[in-house]
Amino acid sequence: MLGTLEPYKRKRRFGRTPEPAPRRHESKTEHLFVVQEHRARRLHYDFRLEMDGVLKSWAVPKGPSLDPSEKRLAVQVEDHPVDYAQFEGVIPKGEYGAGTVMVWDRGTYELENGLDPNAALRAGQLKFTLKGRKLKGGWALVRMRGDNWLLIKQRDRFAAADLSDATRRAHR
């Protein structure tokens, strides 16, 4: 399940977009995660986990929820280069993903029980701990069908059922 940047490359015209060019490499931590607020046709959040020299990526229409009883749709999209974790800017009108991209949260993650990330992706269940500024603690990505996954907060001291929308909580 090695990451490939070919779909990322095919969808973009790098002379017209400020997005980073496709290049496989690993960050210093090799376990980077980033959540980007993407104001494209519709506001959504892009959730990305570094694996195999790329960022495995999911579009989360409603953003992450801190309530373990709320399961958020996360649609897997093309892998992105690790350099994309630093990207903030405006993708010009007429280009794929046109709109504003801002880093909403970033940090590192650890897979639960030292699982092999590729085996976990193939099995359709990734459990991990996030160590970000806004998102912390246990989380899971669970495949439903095809590219549709659920992003679920685990029950731990960082869960907050009283205000489930992490995006609103962070802006207070």
Domain-wise residue ranges, the chain:
6-170
Q: What is the pLDDT of residue 162?
A: 63
Q: What is the pLDDT of residue 163?
A: 55
> How confident is the model over 12-56, as pLDDT tens digits?
999 999 999 998 888 888 799 999 999 999 999 999 999 989 999
Q: What is the pLDDT of residue 165?
A: 61
User: What's phi and psi for 8, nearest 5 deg?
Assistant: -60, -45
Matching residue, tokens 């093309």: 78
> How confident is the model over 66-117, as pLDDT tens digits?
999 999 999 999 999 999 999 999 999 999 999 999 999 999 999 987 778 8
Q: What is the pLDDT of residue 171?
A: 45
CA distance 159 to 76: 24
How many residues are given for the chain? 172
Handedness of CA 40, 45, 51, 53 (dihedral sign): positive
